[in-house]
Amino acid sequence: MPKSENTTTQPGDWNADIYHVLKSCDVRHMAYVPDAGHSGTIKMFEADNDVLSVVLTTEEEGIPYLAGASLGGERGVLLMQSSGVGNCINMLSLQVNARFPLLMLITMRGDYAEFNQWQNPMGQATEQALKLMGVMTWRADKAEDVAELVRGAAKMAFDGDHACAVLLGQRLIGEKEWNK
């Protein structure tokens, strides 16, 4: 079945806001590890014939993938959960040394009403770890902030060859519940 661009947006639909902002920035690659928080955005990109969606086995694979996309003159985004940031720390040295645009959108775990104690350590360390590796970060906890923050981070990444991350807070993505 051919893919077609999804252009429907509901008020407060921050996943659609992300999709539309990134499309307006000519993003052609979306690399991701499956994540419920990003599922709406992932579905929109997977339905878009103009975007190559790549499922990763681990988050750090996305960094060299986006470096290659940049070398080919194309823009991309890496979607992951905060627990995956720990997997990326060493690979972020590639961006530090090669200076290519790196835009990451990170859904947070372990920062608000978290039921899974194993998410808390990395969730609490995510922003600091990124900053220690030279990544500029912004945090969205409200749907109305998402588009503006993603647009600004994309501009800084793509126009300045910076590493930028927008952290999508757990209050935004919704409290996770344990399904027994």
Residues contacting 178, CB < 8 A, separation 6+: 115, 116
Rounded Cα distance between 62 and 135, Å, is: 15
For residues 176 and 170, the answer to whether their CB atoms sit within 8 Å is yes
Average pLDDT over residues 162-167: 98
pTM of the model: 0.90
On the question of pLDDT at 23 being above 90, the answer is: yes
At residue 110, the pLDDT reads 83
Per-residue tokens: 9: 């947006």
> What is the Cα gyration radius of the chain?
15
User: Is 2's pLDDT higher than 70?
Assistant: no
What does the pLDDT read at residue 123?
A: 83
Would you say residue 179 has pLDDT above 80? no
- Per-residue confidence (pLDDT) for residue 121, from 0 to 100: 76
Whether residue 79 is predicted with pLDDT greater than 50 in this model: the reply is yes
Give the DSSP H/E element, type plus range, for residue 28: strand 27-32
Q: Which CATH superfamily is domain 14-173 in?
A: Thiamin diphosphate (ThDP)-binding fold, Pyr/PP domains (3.40.50.970)
Q: Give the per-residue pLDDT at 157.
A: 98
Pairwise CA distance, residues 62 & 56, whole Å: 7
What integer pLDDT is reported at residue 160 of this predicted model?
97
At 177 the pLDDT is 67
Residue 5 has pLDDT above 60, yes or no: no
Domain residue spans of the chain = 14-173
**Average pLDDT of every residue of the chain:** 91
Residue 107 burial (C-beta neighbours within 10 Å; 0-12, 13-18, 19+)? buried
Does 96 score more than 90 pLDDT? yes
Structure tokens at 122: 């990395």
Dihedral, CA of residue 145, residue 148, residue 149 and residue 153, to nearest 10: 170
